[in-house]
Amino acid sequence: MNIRQTLEDTASKIPDKEAIVLGDQRITYGELDAASNRVANALLKLGMKKGTHVAILMSHSPEWVINYFGVIKGGAVAALLNIALKAPELDSLLRDSDSKILITEKKFSRMLSSVLSHIPLLKHVIEVDAASYTKMIASSSPVSPAIDTKDDDEATIFYTSGVLGKQKGVVHTHASHMGTPPIVSAGIQRRREDVIIDLVPFSYLYGLFEVLFGSIITGSTVVLIPNFTPRAVLEAVEREKGTVIFGVPAMYNALAMVRDEVLARYDLSSLRLAVSAGAKSFPKLMENLEDKFGLSLYEVYGLTEVSAVSISTFENRKLGTVGKPICRLKILDDDGKKVRRGQIGEAVFNAPWAMKGYYKAPELTAQVLKDGWFYTGDLVRMDEQGYLEYIEKKSFIIVTSSGLKIGPSEVEFLLMSHPGVAEAAYVGINDGYGGQIPTAFVVLKQGHHATEEDLSDLCCQNLADFKLPKRIEFVDSIPKTSSGKISRKKLKERELQQN
């Protein structure tokens, strides 16, 4: 079954079941199916053809879902753009994606007004909050268009810096879209009666595949939280009787630190589990989260290029790990040889749902996809029971002046074990001589106190000398990427600008 068929199948079985909820806005599966057909037919009338690239730059909303499925049902390829990007970045991606149509909102088209007219292939800019859009959709047919969709047809382009550190389009087909959502849904025992609290935008593969597609397959209801705050999550869980939360570790860290007296004001008894992906989680905070909220945490490890590759399930779950692999895995040393159990090496996966390739970049594709194996650039370790632990991206490793290597997360987790520390990031700052200065950035909890000496003593008592921070800086906040990960790049740039 391809993406289009999945929605149509669920809509035919449970047309009146709520599919997408945002505040007072509630869209049933039947309404979602019909509305997306209207979009598809309107776009086809506008000149969209099978294989046309259509960019989507929209807020996290039911309209995003409707228009995405409209593009897919019309046989086109959706190029997903991140709303956190600035005009020059979006200009570059719109050009790279060869998009002929942009579906957006007035606030984004205004921001892009200086560049849109200079993008040669872009023929139409559609604002979903404009009267012209409402008129176009109202006059369009709600009947599914007769488009022949094949498994190997391209469906979505995701833009990610990912493995090679530069923005590039990851192309997924209809078949690769449908690879992991059924597996992850079965692993966490997602059910039709589940109410999913979604904190992850659909412009990310994790949000689109594991939250949206996985929920459509089972017929679950998805409640959108466009702007994360712990309070917004607590209110949504109580109001909608949420059963499952999908988020990233930074969000769960914030939820785990909510005071007990605040939690006591909300009825959270409906919650049964949370799913985490996108970064390495801090086990102690995750234990705290489980205890406070009375739920179980399940971790998913994946990449934009290969989707989920290792997951926690009801049968196989161990905090501090990302569960067990769901596809073929090799863990290799720097010489390309397999390491023994318990040793750290690079994760290399062979997954039938891997990307087709990087868009218009065969040379980059060849760097990471070799003989069907995807080289992740991620360091992992497998224990004797077969549980996989994500260690670090190779590119995050701090190299000391003597050539010794430090994994930042080990130091970050130690710093966060201090009762006064809310967040920590450990980064190698360029010293101007080809070396790195191991620098810890620390955010203190509100109303708590800790000195540089306190944290230095903690590190000295628990870490080898070569792992110790050379500098500790207290900051008001740690910059994050739009997906909730620590932005080590911005921290390094911040230090360069200050020095």
* Domains defined along the chain, listed by start: 3-8+24-149 (3.40.50.980), 181-393 (3.40.50.12780), 397-498 (3.30.300.30)
Q: What is the pLDDT of residue 403?
A: 64
Q: Collect all residues with Cβ–Cβ distance below 8 Å to 499 and sequence separation of at least 6.
A: none
Helix (H) or strand (E) holding 154: strand 154-160
Q: What is the pLDDT of residue 430?
A: 78
Q: Specify the DSSP class assigned to residue 219.
A: T
Please say whether the beta carbons of 170 and 158 come within 8 A.
yes
**DSSP one-letter string for 242-296:** --EEEE-HHHHHHHHTS-HHHHTTS--TT--EEEE-SS---HHHHHHHHHHHT-E
Smallest Cα–Cα separation from 35: which of 103, 166, 134?
134
pTM: 0.85
Q: Specify the DSSP class assigned to residue 1.
A: -
Name 413's bridge partners: none
Q: Collect all residues with Cβ–Cβ distance below 8 Å to 464 and sequence separation of at least 6.
A: none
Q: What is the pLDDT of residue 394?
A: 81
Q: State the burial class of residue 184 (Cβ atoms within 10 Å of its Cβ: 0-12, 13-18, 19+).
A: buried
Q: How far apart are CA 482 and CA 461, in angstroms?
A: 35
Helix (H) or strand (E) holding 422: strand 421-430
Q: Which two three-digit tokens encode residue 272?
A: 């049964």
Q: What is the pLDDT of residue 22?
A: 98
At CA 204, angle to CA 167 and CA 392, rounded to 5? Answer: 70
What does the chain come to in residues?
Answer: 499
**DSSP one-letter string for 459-497:** HHHHS-GGGS-SEEEE-S---B-TTS-B-HHHHHHHHHH
Helix residue ranges, H only, 97-173 = 106-111, 113-116, 131-138
Q: Which two three-digit tokens encode residue 471?
A: 């500098």
DSSP 3-state of 124 = strand
Encode the chain (499 residues) as per-residue pLDDT tens digits: 788 999 999 999 999 999 999 999 999 999 999 999 999 999 999 999 999 999 999 999 999 999 999 999 999 999 999 998 889 889 999 999 999 999 999 999 999 999 999 999 999 999 999 999 999 999 999 999 999 999 999 999 999 876 665 679 999 999 999 999 999 999 999 999 999 999 999 999 999 999 999 999 999 999 999 999 999 999 999 999 999 999 998 899 889 989 999 999 999 999 999 999 988 888 888 899 999 999 999 999 999 999 999 999 988 899 889 999 999 999 999 899 999 999 999 999 999 999 999 999 999 999 999 999 999 999 999 999 999 999 888 877 787 766 677 878 889 989 999 999 999 999 988 776 666 888 999 999 989 999 999 999 999 998 888 889 999 999 999 988 766 778 888 888 776 556 5
Cα-trace Rg, the chain? 23
Q: Which two three-digit tokens encode residue 494?
A: 């911040």
DSSP 3-state of 216 = helix
Conformational region of residue 21, where left means phi above 0, alpha means psi within -120 to 50, and beta covers everything else: beta
In sign, the C-alpha dihedral spanning 320, 479, 116, 225 is positive
Q: What share of the chain is helix, strand, coil (3-state, %, to 5)?
A: 35, 25, 40
Q: What is the pLDDT of residue 463?
A: 87
